[in-house]
Amino acid sequence: MASRSAWFAAVLGGIVASSSAGAAGANGPIDIGSRRELMVDRLLIDRLEGAEHRLGRAGLAAFADTPPPVQEYATVLYIGGRYLWYTRSKVVPGAYWKTVGDEAGTLNEVTLLYESRDAIAWTPVKLDLYKVGQLDPRLLDYARTNQIDFTPPINIVLANEFGVNHNFTPFEDARPGVPAEQRFKAIGGKCYRTKAQQDAWTPKYGPGGLRAFVSPDGIHWKRLWDEPIIPNGWGMFDSQNVAFWSPAEGQYVCYFRHFKGGLRAIRRSTSKDFLHWTDPVDMAANLPGEHLYTNGTKPYFRAPHIHVGLPTRYVPEWHSATEVLLMTCRPGGQYDRPFAQAFIRPGPELGKYGSEHHVPTFGNRGNYIAYHVTQTGPREMSIYLPGGRRYVLRLDGFASVHAPHAGGEMLTRPLTFQGGRLTLNYATAANGSLRVEVQDAAGKAVPGFALGDCPPLTGDEVDGAVTWRGGDLGKLAGRCVRLRFALTDADLYALRFAE
């Protein structure tokens, strides 16, 4: 463990250098148009003096009084004024692969649906869509032996799909022109790891792999295709695998789990129609010796050209503990990881809504997030973890450029933009401030847009406007410029040029 910091630095240096350089391009300024750019990577950062690139912190909010009682590979969506929470569960409590074997444990899995109006109190959605048929005799024997009196849940949204309910992960399809009956899509499935499993399960349940589902309302689901869209041989899949429409790439993207060099790792594939997928690409995300159990990757809703990953780092040598990390990916590129430290550390011991094992969050796999970050207020986002825990952070607040009271500066790389206003997501101390200078390609202040022409910003804004005495910023649109930020006891989270 003494050498851990050394290999963190070595690997991160390679990842950051390759990812940021590729995104920035080597032949000219970065064209950011009118996109919102977050300080989650070093794409725009050329130099920092007296300032630092700092990982954000999600704060633990009050424990929810009525969270879903289970959270196993969960997903949270905000649809039509309500929050929907999908999660794996079991018909017979306690019957899973360790107690009844792989096949019976998989047959016991269903997907449940909960809802909330305030993202705090959750109730089961009374669906009564599925009648659980004749249960596998191994499940009935387990229930009788352990004197378990069970009643199938009323909020089953998907059942009788072998392997799919292990990690069923839905999303609202943002593709323009998507048919109404396919407004929602989902993937889920199981890897048949051995030849014995393939021989035994394929005739009964079809081949292993990730299968595609569609729905008009997020409640009534059907298979899009009988065959897996991601085949059995491409990955391991016993994790939360995710897919979505990427507006920046004009295609569907799927991030899924596989093993590489004995480590849990991540692969990516793309598709134009959600049926036919490109050969997988290994993503350079792991530090040496590091397991990434889930990838938690999704376009950020305020900047969809940035795929924000909230993966789970699995630490088998420390009671199989898990913790949440932060990484990002730009269109078509590899992951960017400027921060090796945990974004959300294991928290307090699980209470009455803990996992079936009743372990502390420093114990066995106690920190999978519900996919993904969800806006729960005008300035607030939430991340849900087991035990009724809700972590909150400010909009765009994954990372910042931070300067202490002594002050610091950031100079951006050369860039071009569109629009006539610059807005910032920033926070300062009461005696702190933030000012911006616009420089030309040679590094000289543009007349009227020097640091002294910018009235200092003090306060806490998610879209605060910058002004200069020089007047119309729009006259610089399309020109190659640099931005010089002077900060005092302040954090800069994001910037955006707009009309």
pLDDT tens string 93-118: 999 999 999 999 999 999 999 999 99
Q: How far are the Cα atoms of 2, 191, 205, 317, 477 from residue 338, in angstroms, in the given order?
A: 21, 32, 43, 24, 30
The yes-or-no verdict on residue 196 having pLDDT over 70 is: yes
Of 96, 126, 118, nearest in space to 109 by CA? 96
Task: Give the pairing of strands 30-33 and 415-417.
Answer: parallel
Q: Which amino acid is at 216?
A: P
Pick the more confident residue, 321 or 114. Answer: 114
The pTM of the full predicted model, rounded to 2 decimals, is 0.90
pLDDT for the residue numbered 370:
93
The yes-or-no verdict on residue 355 having pLDDT over 50 is: no
Of 491, 473, 472, nearest in space to 483 by CA? 473
The yes-or-no verdict on residue 19 having pLDDT over 70 is: no
pLDDT for the residue numbered 244:
98
Report residue 78's pLDDT band, with 50, 70 and 90 as the boundaries.
very high
pLDDT for the residue numbered 364:
64
* Identical fold between 20-56+400-498 and 59-393: no
Kindly state the tokens that stand for 33: 């148009």
Listed by start position, the domains of the chain span 20-56+400-498, 59-393
Report residue 349's pLDDT band, with 50, 70 and 90 as the boundaries.
low
Q: CATH classification of 59-393 is 2.115.10.20, yes or no?
A: yes
Kindly state the tokens that stand for 104: 């019976």
pLDDT tens, position by position, 27-40: 689 999 999 999 99
pLDDT tens, position by position, 203-243: 999 999 999 999 999 999 999 999 999 999 999 999 999 99
The yes-or-no verdict on residue 91 having pLDDT over 80 is: yes
Residue 160 falls in which region: left (phi positive, over 0), alpha (psi -120 to 50) or beta? left
**CA atoms of 260 and 241, how far apart (whole Å):** 16
Of 438, 445, 424, 439, nearest in space to 491 by CA? 424
Kindly state the tokens that stand for 146: 């352990």
Mean pLDDT lowest among 8-12, 146-150, 289-293, 414-418: 8-12
Q: What is the 3-state secondary structure (H, E, C) of the chain?
A: CCCHHHHHHHHHHHHHHHHHHHHHCCCCCEEEECCCEECCCCCCEEEEECCEEEECCCEECCCCCCCCCCCCCCEEEEECCEEEEEEEEECCCCCCHHHHCHHHHHHCEEEEEEEECCCCCCEECCCCCCCCCCCCHHHHHHHHHCCCCCCCCCCEEECCCCCHHHCCEEEECCCCCCCHHHCEEEEEEECCCCHHHHHHHHHHHCCCEEEEEEECCCCCCEECCCCCCEEHHHCCCCCCCEEEEECCCCEEEEEEEEEECCEEEEEEEEECCCCCECCCEECCCCCCCCEEEECCEEEECCEEEEEEECCEEEECCCCCEEEECCEEECCCCCEECCCCCCCECCCCCCCCCCCCCCCCCCCCCCCCCCECCEEEECCEEEEEECCCEEEEEECCCCEEEEECCCCEEEEECCEEECCCEEEEEEEEEEEEEEEEEEEECCCCECCCCCHHHCCCECCEEEEEEECCCCCCHHHHCCCCEEEEEEEEEEEEEEEEEEC
Give the chain's mean pLDDT: 90
The yes-or-no verdict on residue 412 having pLDDT over 70 is: yes
First to last CA, the chain: 51
Mean pLDDT lowest among 81-85, 131-135, 247-251, 267-271: 131-135
The yes-or-no verdict on residue 358 having pLDDT over 80 is: no
pLDDT for the residue numbered 48:
98
Tracing tokens 């004749």 back to the chain, one arrives at 134
The percent of residues above 70 in pLDDT, for the chain, comes to 90
**Nearest 5 degrees, angle CA 385-CA 287-CA 359?**
30
Q: What fold characterizes domain 20-56+400-498?
A: Jelly Rolls (2.60.120)
Per-residue pLDDT, averaged over 248-254, amounts to: 97
pLDDT tens, position by position, 134-176: 788 999 999 999 999 888 889 999 999 999 999 999 999 999 9
Dihedral angle computed from the Cα positions of residues 40, 45, 47 and 49, in that order, rounded to the nearest 10 degrees:
-40
Report residue 453's pLDDT band, with 50, 70 and 90 as the boundaries.
very high
The yes-or-no verdict on residue 12 having pLDDT over 80 is: no
Q: How many CB atoms lie within 10 A of CB 474?
A: 14
Tracing tokens 């909150």 back to the chain, one arrives at 392
CB 469 within 8 A of CB 453: yes
Tracing tokens 């950020």 back to the chain, one arrives at 300
CB 376 within 8 A of CB 382: yes
CB neighbour list of residue 119: distance below 8 Å, 6 or more residues apart: 83, 374, 376, 382, 390
Strand partners, 265: 258
Q: How many residues does the chain have?
A: 499
Q: Which amino acid is at 399?
A: A
The yes-or-no verdict on residue 460 having pLDDT over 60 is: yes
- Taken in order 456, 458, 463, 464, the sign of the CA dihedral is negative
Tracing tokens 């009196």 back to the chain, one arrives at 149
- Taken in order 11, 12, 14, 15, the sign of the CA dihedral is positive
CB 203 within 8 A of CB 197: no
